[in-house]
Amino acid sequence: MARMVSPAGDMEVSLSRLSRCGNQFVITGQIGIWDSDIYFTPEETMRVALRMLRLSLLAYFAALPFVVLYRRLFRKGTGA
């Protein structure tokens, strides 16, 4: 589960669905104890998508399958 850190306190964040509602991009999930829908306008969606094109994030996503595989194979404390 993801974690949101803010001056107001830390909360667990769970994303359950990505969808579209009309012209808006919607993320459905839970923030802390609250069920939440986050709506993005087309302009906000484009801004987020363009920020995802950073080299460091592209490298992260390229390495991600290997990181997950490594963690599954060499979990600490499981005796594996």
* Strand extents, DSSP E, the chain: 2-6, 9-21, 24-31, 34-40
pLDDT tier, 80 (very low <50, low <70, confident <90, very high otherwise):
very low
pTM of the model: 0.71
**Residue 23 located in a structural domain:** yes
Tens-digit pLDDT profile for residues 28-67: 999 999 999 999 999 999 999 999 899 999 999 999 999 9
| Residue 40: domain span | 2-73
Report the number of distinct structural domains present in the chain: 1
Residue 63 maps to a domain: yes
19-57: b (≥16 Cβ within 10 Å) or e: eeeeeebeeebeeeeeeeeeebeeeeeeeeeeeeeeeee
Establish if 79 belongs to a structural domain: no
In a domain, 80, yes or no: no
Q: Is 78 contained in some domain?
A: no
